[in-house]
Amino acid sequence: GTDGNPFLDVRVREALALAIDREAIVSRIQFDSGEPAGQFAPAGIFGHDPDLLPTEYNPDRARELLAEAGYPDGFGLTVHGPNDRYINDGIVTQTVGQMWAQIGLDVAVETLPFNVYSGRATAREFSAFLFSFGITTGESGLGLRNVLATYDEERGWGANNRFRYSNPEFDETLAAAFAEFDDAEREALLQQAVRIAMEDYAITPLYWEGNNWAVRQGLVFSPSPDGRSLMTNLSSAD
């Protein structure tokens, strides 16, 4: 029994992941700016696992999994998202809601201004909701610790874990990564941690937002994978 919470069953989480057509979201809503994601950190970020691909779009398998989990007729949920924070965030939220309705869920969608939305998300008022995390440290560990580690205020873990996901195997692997000084070993542990979380469908990555810069003639801008705009990325074209 999942005590009335379908999300506690990994088959339900996998079904919801399979029901989303990430390619369509990137091509039609984001005008091909960005790419479908299968994990937290994009290529170029330390800890990215090149073997972790985005979940394939397979609505038939999603319906099978829902039935196996005891929800042959689906269940009701409200999907929440911001409407002024990320590129086309309101449309993305609506689209994910429609994709979930297509596998038999009874879906309502509510989008809100971010200043209202973020507080309510942190107060854990939502069940399924859209959020992003910007990696500014050049490695995946901080994001994994903030979003997916078991919430522990004293330890400072799970600060952005608004859904209180908890997986001891993930926590142990991540802690080992933070204690490891050898770069190759640490990266392997970060990759192992993200694999544990993704195979458990802890979150459903959608896409990495595309970043676009314009510079005047004579200048070259070399983007960094964290998406920040730094003067050091700018050089002359000579």
Q: State CA 151 to chain mean position distance.
A: 18
In the numeric block, which tokens belong to residue 149?
């580690």
The Cα 100–Cα 94 span in angstroms is 10
Q: What angle do CA 160, 195, 5 make, to 5 degrees?
A: 55
Q: Kindly state the helix (H) or strand (E) to which residue 79 belongs, with its residue range.
A: strand 76-82
**Cα within 13 Å of Cα(109), Cβ side:** 18
Say if residues 140 and 46 touch (Cβ distance below 8 Å).
Answer: yes
b/e string for 76-112 if b means 16 or more Cβ within 10 A? ebebbbbbebbbbbbbbbbbbbebbbebbbebebebb
pTM of the complete model: 0.91
In Å, what is the CA distance from 134 to each residue of 22, 64, 86, 105, 201? 19, 34, 11, 30, 20
pLDDT in tens, the chain (238 residues): 446 899 999 999 999 999 999 999 999 999 999 999 999 899 999 999 999 999 999 999 999 999 999 999 999 999 999 999 999 999 999 999 999 999 999 999 999 999 999 999 999 999 999 999 988 888 999 999 999 999 999 999 999 999 999 999 999 999 999 999 999 999 999 999 999 999 999 999 999 988 888 889 999 988 876 777 888 888 998 7
